[in-house]
Amino acid sequence: MDSYLNQNFDLKSKHSSDEALEKWRTVVGFVKNPKRRFRFTANLSKRYEAAAMRRTNQEKLRIAVLVSKAAFQFISGVQPSDYVVPEQVIAAGFQLCADELGSIVEGHDVKKLKFHGGVSGIAEKLSTSTNTGLSSDAALLSKRQEIYGINKFAEPEAKGFWVFVWEALQDMTLMILGACAIVSLVVGIAMEGWPAGAHDGLGIVASILLVVFVTATSDYRQSLQFKDLDKEKKKITIQVTRNDCRQKLSIYDLLPGDIVHLNIGDQVPADGLFVSGFSVLIDESSLTGESEPVVVNDKNPFMLSGTKLQDGSCKMLVTTVGMRTQWGKLMATLSEGGDDETPLQVKLNGVATIIGKVGLFFAVVTFAVMVQGLLRSKLQEGTIWSWSGDEALKLLEFFAVAVTIVVVAVPEGLPLAVTLSLAFAMKKMMNDKALVRHLAA
């Protein structure tokens, strides 16, 4: 029987594929009582379920293997052959690059720290001493700056006056008024000629320009004042040890290898490592959001820029400065975000949008009703296909009425009144030594 089937039919007697079995069952599905006929054959649905379960188990096993490999690599840590000192760093007389130092402190990598000899080993590879600090030689400090950078953060370029003008023009109410002014000028000049027909449009334009320049001037003046305040804020000094002498130094002149002395209330000026001290508690809420202070000691020597010393006093070895610090990376991330609208801006834009939509709706309805009346009269007269100049002028008058409704509906005095009141309030606050960066705030 098997040989007969193989010779006359393209169907294997055993271990047939699922596709072949399904095709054969479809062909012979018209037989009487197919459930009884095929009760001893393979259940294809269960076979599909088993195959799907087998694939799922294989995927889970593959993921488990990958996770195990990653965990093993993490536990193994850094091997001596993993880190190679760049030639530029060796030529400058150091044995650690800036990226390696940053990864140690930022990642709280105890294994890397031990591999490099602990805090004393890091100090030795940075060509400094935890007791005497750096040398004040200008040439050596300049070489150190070239390798590790300076302790300054990237600042956005100052905005010019015309940038503030452009930002003031983005107000939704002013945009609606600008569109109405253009339409009013075109319709007015077409209806009444120049200059009688341009009075309304030019009045709206003058109102827009007044609001824009008052807002831009106020914001520009405040930006200049805040720029001066930022310069004053940069005049922060801190106690450091250089040439075995304790001295005051600006935080922006700190370099990797400096020994910094910190007391209660001081802000950590750069990423670094704990050298010595007692009862040191660090408030890291500015970075992590955790209100619980972190104990810093020989076992946990990592100190991050932007945090504050909540208790105790200590000496710190600076390892990372500027944009490579945790605080610098956070500032770079924050500077990439856009400015959110203030609640006042949101409410004013909402009011202007609603009023504009309502005014536009009634303007369209009014225009449609007047045009419908004109068309009905022409239909009754039988002159629907012949239009005179007076009738075309009537259509233009209807359009002018619709534009007038839109212009009257939008409160052009609202932005001006709000801007003037805010500028007056800002002036009063300046007398109390309180500055507001943006007028809308």
pLDDT the model gives residue 80:
43
The pLDDT value given to residue 177: 73
Cβ–Cβ under 8 Å, residues 201 and 184: yes
Determine contact, residues 190/166, Cβ cutoff 8 Å: no
Own/partner contacts of 110-118, CB < 8 Å, gap of 24 or more, are 111/77, 111/78, 112/77, 112/78, 113/273, 113/301, 115/77, 115/78, 115/80, 115/83
pLDDT of 334 reads: 62
The pTM of the full predicted model, rounded to 2 decimals, is 0.52
Integer Cα distance of 191 and 183 in angstroms: 12
What element of type H or E holds 146? helix 138-148
Phi, then psi, of 93 in degrees rounded to 5: 95, 15
Render the burial of 191-201: b for 16+ CB within 10 Å, e for the rest: eeeeeebbebb
Task: Specify which residues 274 forms β-bridges with.
Answer: 316
Which letter does DSSP use for residue 323 in this model?
A: G
Coil, helix or strand for 267? strand
Q: What is the pLDDT of residue 318?
A: 92
Instruction: Give the pLDDT of residue 337.
Output: 46
- Which H/E stretch holds residue 241? strand 237-242
Whole-number pLDDT of residue 386: 74
Q: Quick one: which of 104, 155, 95, 165 has its CA closest to 326?
A: 104
Along the 441 residues of the chain, how does pLDDT read in single tens digits? 555 555 555 545 555 566 666 666 666 555 555 555 555 455 666 666 777 787 777 677 667 766 766 665 555 554 444 678 888 888 888 888 888 888 888 888 888 888 888 889 999 999 898 888 888 888 888 889 888 888 887 776 778 888 888 888 887 667 777 777 787 787 777 777 787 778 877 887 888 888 888 878 877 887 777 677 667 666 778 899 998 889 998 888 899 999 999 999 888 989 999 999 888 999 888 777 777 888 999 888 999 888 889 889 999 999 999 888 888 877 776 654 445 556 766 777 677 778 778 888 888 898 888 888 888 888 887 777 777 766 766 777 787 777 777 767 766 556 656 666 766 676 676 666 665 555 555
